């Protein structure tokens, strides 16, 4: 079974600074997808960014980018120019290709943004 | 822009009571999912339905049943609620293979 580990229960960052959230996963498969989801206090699950394992290029979405290291099974999220609205729980998730779209989530990292 | 709609948003039950959580999506998605989120943890898959007429167990199916009523609706039933089932329940759906899941706003369920 696949596992996803987020080793940082909490992180804080100063507004306008950059922060990196860590995620590692365990799998013996070669084709899979990785995601970062944001969960603000409203409880919504919001997709932040998605990475296909077969792509070497790291995904980016505006201020959000990932560092995908397939051999190390590492998938970190970098948030640049942090904003107060970025404060939330962030979850890393894994999805095996062609396996019913089932997601395996990490335990989450709470990000606090200081003004 | 309804997306995935879950009802109710909050519910309090007594131990042993039964309850059905409803989920409906208006995006013509084939696959639907039920997750639970316990405090301080990530979501865990309870059951999923890859297409209308099929359902399969996820990581934590014990104590739950599901029904894929039609393509739009996927319900989760607790036959005899237990305090260990106190959690926030999320429904999600997705269309084509390997596309991101769309989540509902969750149902906070407390069992006393």
* Minimum distance, in Å, between the CA of residue B55 and any CA atom of chain A: 11
Residues 6 or more apart whose Cβ sits within 8 Å of residue A97: A29, A31, A32, A33, A53, B98
Mean pLDDT of A87-112: 90
Q: What percent of chain B has pLDDT above 70?
A: 97
* Minimum distance, in Å, between the CA of residue A85 and any CA atom of chain B: 18
State whether residue B94 sits within 8 Å of chain A by CB.
Answer: yes
Residue B26 bridge partners (DSSP): none
pLDDT band at A101 (very low <50, low <70, confident <90, very high): confident
**Cα–Cα dist A63/A17, whole Å:** 11
Residues 6 or more apart whose Cβ sits within 8 Å of residue A11: A19, A21, A109, A110, A111, A112
Per-residue model confidence (pLDDT) at position B69: 87
**Cα–Cα dist B100/B97, whole Å:** 9
Mean pLDDT of A7-31: 95
Does B39 have pLDDT greater than 90? Answer: no
Does A98 have pLDDT greater than 80? Answer: no
Does A25 have pLDDT greater than 80? Answer: yes
Of the residues A90, A101, A104, the best mutation for testing chain B's interface (the one with the most B CB atoms within 10 Å of its CB) is: A101
Q: What tens digit of pLDDT does each residue of A47-95 get?
A: 999 999 998 899 999 999 999 999 999 999 999 999 999 999 999 999 9
CB contact under 8 A, A100 and B101: no
State whether residue B36 sits within 8 Å of chain A by CB.
Answer: no
Mean pLDDT of B45-59: 92
Residue of A nearest to B51 (CA): A100
* Minimum distance, in Å, between the CA of residue A50 and any CA atom of chain B: 8
Burial class of residue B60, CB neighbours in 10 A (0-12, 13-18, 19+): middle
CB of A13 closer than 8 Å to CB of B71? no
State chain A's maximal CA–CA distance in angstroms. 43
Q: What is the mean pLDDT of chain B?
A: 93
**Cα–Cα dist B111/A74, whole Å:** 38
Residues of B in contact with A50 (CB under 8 A): 100
State whether residue B97 sits within 8 Å of chain A by CB.
Answer: yes
Compute the residue count for chain B.
112
Per-residue model confidence (pLDDT) at position B98: 67
């Amino acid at each position: 079974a696949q596992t996803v580990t987020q080793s940082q229960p909490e992180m804080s960052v100063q507004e306008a600074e950059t922060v990196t959230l860590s995620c590692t996963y365990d799998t013996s498969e070669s084709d899979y997808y990785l995601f970062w989801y944001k969960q603000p206090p409203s409880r919504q699950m919001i997709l932040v960014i998605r990475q296909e394992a077969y792509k070497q290029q790291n995904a980016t979405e505006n201020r959000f980018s990932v560092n995908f290291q397939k051999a190390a099974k590492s998938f970190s999220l970098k948030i640049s120019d942090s904003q107060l609205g970025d404060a939330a729980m962030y979850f890393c998730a894994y999805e095996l290709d062609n396996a019913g779209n089932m997601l395996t989530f990490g335990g989450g990292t709470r990000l606090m943004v200081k003004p | 822009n309804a997306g995935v709609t879950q009802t109710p948003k909050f519910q309090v039950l007594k131990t042993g009571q039964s309850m059905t959580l409803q989920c409906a999506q208006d995006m013509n998605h084939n696959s639907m999912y039920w997750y639970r989120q316990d405090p301080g943890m990530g979501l865990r898959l309870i059951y999923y339905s890859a297409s209308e007429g099929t359902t399969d167990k996820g990581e934590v199916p014990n104590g739950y049943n599901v029904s894929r009523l039609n393509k739009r609706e996927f319900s989760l039933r607790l036959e005899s609620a237990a305090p260990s089932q106190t959690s926030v329940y999320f429904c999600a759906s997705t269309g084509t293979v390997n596309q991101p899941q769309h989540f509902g706003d969750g149902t906070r369920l407390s069992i006393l």
